[in-house]
Structure 1
Amino acid sequence: METVKNSGNKQITSIGQSIKDTIRNNIRQYAMLLALVAIMIFFQIATGGILLVPMNVANLILQNSYVFILAIGMTICILAGGNIDLSVGSVVAFIGAIAGTLIINMKYSIVPTIIICLLIGALIGIWQGFWIAYMRIPAFIVTLAGMLVFRGLTVTMLKGLTLSPFPEKFQQISAGFIPDVFGGFGTKLNITAIIVGLILAAIYLISEIKKRAERIKYNFDVLPLPIFIAQIVVVFAAIGIFTYWMAAYKGIPVILAIVGLLIIAYSFFTTKTVQGRYIYAMGGNEKAAKLSGIDTNKVLFFAYVNMAILAAFAGIAFTSRLNAASPQAGQNFELDAIASCFIGGASAYGGVGTVVGAIIGALVMGVLNNGMSILGVGSDMQMTVKGLVLLVAVAFDVISKKKSRS
Structure 2
Amino acid sequence: MSTQATAPAPSAPQPKTGSANPLVALTANLRQSGIYIAFVVVVALFAVATDGRSLSALNITNIVLQYSYVLVLAIGMVIVIIAGHIDLSVGSVVALVGAVSARVVITAGQPWWVGILAGIAVGLVVGVWQGFWVAFVGIPAFIVTLAGMLLFRGLTFYVLDNVSLSPYGAPYTEIASGFLNGLLGGNGYDAFTLLIGALAVAGYAFQQWRTRRARIAYQQVVEALPLFIGKIVLVGLVVMAFAWQLAHARGLPIVLIILAVLILAYTVITKSTVFGRQVYAIGGNLSAAMLSGVNVRKVNFWIFVNMGFLAAIAGIIFSARSNTAQPGAGNAFELDAIAASFIGGAAVTGGIGTVAGAMVGGLLVGVISNGMQLLGLEQSLQQVIRGLVLLLAVAFDVYNKRRSGTR
Q: Same fold (TM over 0.5)?
A: yes
* Equivalent residue letter for 1:91: V
Aligned to 2:276: 276
TM-score normalised by L of structure 1:
0.90
Contact 1:18 1:223 in 2 (8 A): no
The change in CA–CA distance for 1:224 and 1:18 in structure 2 (over 3 A counts) is farther
Aligned to 1:9: none
Contact 2:176–2:318 (8 Å) recurs in 1: yes
Partner of 1:370 in structure 2? 370
The residue aligned with 1:11 is: none
Distance change >3 Å, CA 200–CA 98, structure 1 → 2: same
| Per-residue deviation, residues 376-402 of structure 1 (Å, max 9, x unmatched) | 112222111111111111111112211
Q: Which of residues 30, 33, 36 in structure 1 aligns to 2:33?
A: 30
Offset at 1:166?
A: 1.3
CA contact under 8 A between 2:106 and 2:166: conserved in structure 1? yes
5 Å-filtered alignment, 1:347-358, equals: 347-358=347-358
Q: Which amino acid aligns with 1:273?
A: T
State the partner residue of 1:263: 263
How far has the Cα of 1:158 moved from its partner? Answer: 1.1
Q: Tell me the residue number matched to 1:319.
A: 319
Aligned twin of 2:396: 396
Q: Equivalent pairs: percent with the same residue?
A: 45
Give the Cα–Cα distance (whole angstroms) in 2 for the partners of residues 138 and 226 of structure 1: 45
Give distance in 1, aligned partners of 2:141 and 2:235: 38
1:323 to 1:276, Cα distance in 2 relative to 1, 3 A: same
Counterpart amino acid of 1:281?
A: A
Q: Distance in 2 between matches of 1:137 and 1:197?
A: 44
Question: Cα 1:367–1:232, aligned 2, differ >3 Å: closer, same or farther?
Answer: closer
Q: Secondary structure at the match of 2:55?
A: coil
Equivalent in 147, 153, 156 of residue 154 of structure 1: 156
Cα deviation digits, residues 220-268 of structure 1 (max 9, x gap): 6655554444344323322321221111111111111111111111111
- 1:387 counterpart SS class: helix
2:82 is equivalent to residue 79 of structure 1? yes
Residue 99 of structure 1 aligns with which residue? Answer: 101
For 1:133, the equivalent position in structure 2 comes to 135
Distance 1:278 1:112, change over 3 A: same
The equivalent of 2:126 in structure 1 is 124
**Pair 1:398–1:219, CA change in 2 (3 A):** closer
Distance 1:387 1:45 in 2: 23
Q: Distance in 1 between matches of 2:28 and 2:193?
A: 34
- Give the CA deviation at 1:286: 1.0
Secondary structure of the equivalent of 1:51? helix
Q: Secondary structure at the match of 1:64?
A: helix
Q: Contact conserved, 1:80 with 1:299, CA < 8 A, in 2?
A: no
> How far apart, CA to CA, are the structure 2 residues paired with 1:349 and 1:216?
28
CA contact (8 A) 2:33 2:231 kept: no
Q: 1:329 to 1:220 in 2, by over 3 A?
A: closer
- Aligned to 2:168, the other structure's residue is in SS state coil
Query: Which whole-Å CA distance do the structure 1 matches of 2:395 and 2:212 have between them?
Result: 33
For 2:251, the equivalent position in structure 1 comes to: 251
CA gap of 1:22–1:182, structure 2 versus 1, over 3 A, is farther
2:233 maps to which residue? 233
Alpha-carbon distance in 2 for matches of 1:400, 1:228: 20
Residue 46 (1) aligns with residue 49 (2): yes
Q: CA distance change for structure 1 residues 207 and 366 in 2, over 3 Å: closer, same or farther?
A: closer
Asked if the contact 1:343–1:390 (Cα under 8 Å) also holds between the matched residues in 2, the reply is: yes
Q: Counterpart of 1:286?
A: 286
Aligned residue number for residue 7 of structure 1: none
Residue 199, structure 1, aligned to residue 202, structure 2: no
Work out the CA distance in 2 between the residues paired with 1:314 and 1:393.
25
Following the alignment from structure 2 to structure 1, what is the Cα–Cα distance between the partners of residues 292 and 387? 39
Q: Structure 1 residues 351 and 370 mapped into 2: Cα distance closer, same or farther (>3 Å)?
A: same
User: Which is further off, 394-403 or 303-312?
Assistant: 394-403
Using the TM superposition, name which of 29-38 and 109-118 deviates more.
29-38
TM-score for both structures, normalised by structure 2: 0.90
* Aligned twin of 1:328: 328
Tell me the equivalent position of 2:14: none
Shift in CA distance, 212/285, structure 1 to aligned 2, threshold 3 Å: closer
Alignment-derived partner of residue 90 in structure 1:
92
- Amino acid paired to 2:313: F
d(CA) in 2 for partners of 1:102 and 1:27? Answer: 49
Residue 203 of structure 1: how far off its partner (Å): 2.8
Q: Which runs of 5+ in 2 are unaligned?
A: 1-16
In structure 1, list runs of 5 or more residues that go unmatched. Answer: 1-13
The aligned amino acid for 2:47 is Q
Normalized per residue, which structure has more helix? 1
Report Cα offsets for 1:191-243 as digits up to 9, x if no partner. Answer: 10111122223333444455555556666665555444434432332232122
- Distance between the aligned counterparts of 2:213 and 2:82, measured in 1? 30
Letter of the 1:55 counterpart: L
Question: Residue in 1 aligned with 2:180?
Answer: 178
**Is the 8 Å Cα contact of residues 68 and 359 (structure 1) preserved in structure 2?**
yes
Q: Distance in 2 between matches of 1:390 and 1:196?
A: 32
Change in 2 beyond 3 A, CA 1:336/1:204:
closer
The farther-off stretch of 376-385 and 341-350 is: 376-385
Deviates more, 1:331-340 or 1:228-237: 228-237
> 3-state SS of the aligned residue for 2:349?
coil
Does structure 2 retain, via aligned residues, the 8 Å contact 1:18–1:224?
no
Provide the rounded CA distance (Å) in 2 between the counterparts of 1:226 and 1:342: 27
Q: Distance in 1 between matches of 2:76 and 2:403?
A: 30
Displacement of 1:182 in angstroms is 1.8
C-alpha displacement at 1:313, in angstroms?
Answer: 0.8
